Each structure stands twice: as structure tokens, then as C-alpha cells.
Copies of this chain bind each other. A is one copy, B any other.
Amino acid sequence: MKDDMIKGVKGFKFSARSAGIKKSGKPDLALIYSEVPARCAGVFTTNKVVAAPVLVTAPRVETGSCQAVLVNSGNANACTGEQGMRDALQCGALAARALGISEEMLAVSSTGVIGHLLPMEKFERHVPHLAADLVADGAESVARAIMTTDAFSKMASAREHVEETEYTLLGIAKGAGMIHPNMATMLAFVLTDAVVEPQFLREALRRATDVSFNSITVDGDTSTNDMVLLMANGVAQNAEIRGGTPAGEAFCAALNRVMLDLAKMIVRDGEGATKLVEIRVRGAVDEADARRAACAISTSSLVKTAFFGEDANWGRIIAAAGYSGAALDPERIDILFEDIPVVRNGIGTGKDLEEKASEILKRNEFTVIVDLHLGPAEASYYTSDLTYDYVKINAAYRT
């Protein structure tokens, strides 16, 4: 993580507590608060089964304005029916009352087990303390409180400037199930003190999501609770950042960097994962095809177990490309592990180079390049290896 000295953003305050929602007694309730109303944009799950907090928060974010986020781990408040909706609304109401702001300015977010009602008495007891305990340097405590199966907390940040005025971006995320991304809830909150034109803020978030969180997951394969929020409170008082300008480009680049850093942390923390692998498909006819092939390779259990076994088993990679739906000509495909070619024109380059490639597989991070030699487009996906511990974590998660 670059800029690892950044621990806060002007005008934002944070607090977190152990409210007893998690059986473990670890921190599980957190509050993010902006001293002034912030412009905001959001990206939400595309799952047809949508958790109550997402149903409550999405229309509020749609208004473009937000001032605080109450987030809990240990319980997803999903598949909880009308009572779940009432509870999500009540969570927001509790936080709004404690902060003295309108309920409409409150986003609520949950992650954890599906199908259990929230323990509302714990929210009633602890939310007032959260509001009282807000501090400027508490982002790290929020990052810890939203963890579920995460092995480590996730933050990333960047500094940029508009003319002479500096602004900060700080991202906080959770998620660790990206080995197979079906249902591991991913939450991310990106905070900035920059003044950003509202429509451009939405557009920047959409673009950054595509090259970060949407490049570690299959489109549509989102959990019931996924949520990415971007809040810009304008406290930096820079000249408004707009699309189609150098300042807008710089903002997008910084936002992409922060979100890609977070996304890679999620892969690196893939349940049981020991490796972070970039699957870079190039020479595709168009970007959609490049993404299709990269996605199929990245999500293949056979490819991922081969990475765990440190086996340069390119046959599994070429076969995944073959069923991905991407246009390809098997006799043109090259595959490289970093700079070691193991396939040229669809045929293996032999044992010596494959053994060299196996050396690369021993690294914790490496890149696999699949060149289709058909067109100009490329795309990268980030994946992890599939390990014994993945099975262990997911077989034992609830019981």
C-alpha cells in the first residue's frame, strides 16, 4: 500500500465497537460520519435476492447526498422479510438520532450470515456510544470492525491536487471470498474531501468499479449485500473536479488506484489463498472478449488448484479460454508465465521452459499472459489459488 501514512480524510470521523453481534466478541459495529453532508455515489449488488440494508440505502444514495454510514458485520440482514426491512430502517434511525441528522442522510450496510434477524437491542445499546466516540483517526478501527472471514483489514489511499489544493482519497474494504466470488460479501467505502461534480462522481465510481472490483468477480455473481459507496464532502475546497478535464482524469486515476489496491487485497486475502495471480488476456478482438477469457481462466477451479500445486499446467488455461466464449484460434494462442513462453501458436514449448515457468509459480504474486493474437484489446483479472484452507474455511464458516 502506497501513502501508508494517510489515516484520515478532512471532515470525516470514525468509530467502532464490539456490540456482540459476532459470537467471537470481536468488533462488529462501525460508524463513518462526515461533518458536512457529502455528495455520494454507490454501486450495489446485481443479485436478485437483495438484503434489506441495500434496499434501504440504494434509493438514499440515489439522491446524491449522504452524511454517515452505519455498518455491522456478523449478520447480513438478508432473507429476513419485512422485519428485516423494519430493522434496517431502525438501524438508520438510531444512528441519525444519535448524530442529530436526518434519516435520509444515513446509509446502512451489513455483512455476515444470511437468514437471521438483527439483534436490535444491541444496536440500541451501542449506536449512541458510536456517535459519541467518533474520532478523525479511527478509519483503521472501522476496517477491522467490518471483517468477516477476512484475515487482515483493508485500507488504501491516495493524495492528489487540483491546482494548489490538495485532496485525499481513503478506501476501506472487506471481503475475502474471491476464490469463487459467488457470495462473499464485498463492502467498500471510499471517502474524499475533494469537491467533485455530482454526475462525474457517479461516472468515476462506475469506471473505477469496472477495472477493480468487477475484475476480481464475475459480473452478476455478487452477494446479497455487496455495496461500494463513494462520499465526497468537499472540505478540501478545491475548484470543482469535472469530467473531461485534466483534474477529472487525475481524480479517476487516483480513484482507480485506490480501488484496485483494495480489490487486490481482497484477492490476496481470498479464503485460504496463498497467491495473487494476474490473468492478462491480450490480442482479443474486443475488450468484452478479453474480459470473458480472463474471467473464465480466473474462475476455473482446475486452474486455481494448479496454481496451488505450483504446476505450470497450461492445458487447463488454454481449455478455459476455449470454453470462455471469447473468439479465438487455438493455433494462434501464446501463453507466458511472466516472460517465460510455455505455449507458442497453441503448442507447448517443451519441458525446459515449463520447468522455468514452474519456478515463477513458486512466487506469491505473478502474471499469466494469454495472447490471442486476434485483435487490439486486453483486460486483466486478478485471482488466487484454490487451497485446502478454502475448503476448510467454507465448510466450517457457520457451524
Which residues of chain A have a CB within 8 Å of any CB of chain B? 46-50, 76, 78-81, 113-116, 177, 179-180, 182-184, 220-224, 300-303, 305-306, 308-311, 313-316, 318-323, 325, 328, 330-331, 343, 345-348, 386-388, 390-392, 394-399
Point out the residue from B50, B220, B224, B395 that lies within 8 Å of A309, measured CB to CB: B395
Docked CA distance A318–B331 (Å): 42
Copies of this chain present in the complex amount to: 2
Are A182 and B315 in contact, CB atoms less than 8 angstroms apart? no
User: Once the chains are docked, how many angstroms separate the CA of A159 from the CA of B79?
Assistant: 48
Q: Separation in Å of the A230 CB from the closest CB of chain B?
A: 23
B395, A306: Cβ atoms closer than 8 Å: yes
Q: Give Cα distance in the complex from A397 to B311, angstroms.
A: 9
Instruction: Determine the distance from Cα of A117 to Cα of B131 in the docked complex, in whole angstroms.
Output: 68
The answer to whether A223 and B319 touch across the interface, beta carbons within 8 angstroms, is: yes
B residues near A46, Cβ cutoff 8 Å: 323
Q: Are A343 and B79 in contact (CB under 8 A)?
A: yes
Q: Which residues of B contact A330 (CB under 8 A)?
A: 48-50, 79
| A47-B322, A49-B321, A179-B301 given; A315·B392 CB < 8 A | no
> Is there an interface contact between A183 and B49, defined as CB atoms closer than 8 Å?
no
Q: Residue on B with the closest CB to A308?
A: B395
Contact residues in B for A321 (Cβ distance below 8 Å):
48-49
A391 contacts which chain B residues (CB < 8 A)? 305, 308, 386-388, 390-391
Q: Given the interface contacts A388-B392, A394-B302, does A346 sit within 8 Å of B81 by beta carbon? A: yes
Given the complex, which residues of B lie within 8 Å of A313, measured CB to CB? Answer: 397-398
Evaluate contact between B177 and A302: CB separation under 8 angstroms.
Answer: yes
Closest B-chain residue to A116, C-beta based?
B348
Given contacts A220-B325, A320-B183, contact A394 B309 (CB under 8 A): yes
Q: For A179, A315, A318, A328, which residue has the most chain B Cβ atoms within 10 angstroms?
A: A315
Partner of A318, one of B49, B221, B346, B387: B49
Q: Are A398 and B311 in contact (CB under 8 A)?
A: yes
- With A79-B330, A391-B388 already in contact, the answer to whether A180 and B301 are too (CB < 8 A) is yes
**From A321, which residue of chain B is reached at the shortest CB distance?**
B49
- Return chain B residues, CB-CB under 8 Å to A314: 114-115
Query: With a CB–CB cut-off of 8 A, which chain B residues contact A222?
Result: 323
Given contacts A79-B346, A221-B323, 7 further A-B contacts (CB under 8 A): A47-B322, A48-B322, A81-B346, A114-B314, A183-B300, A220-B323, A311-B395
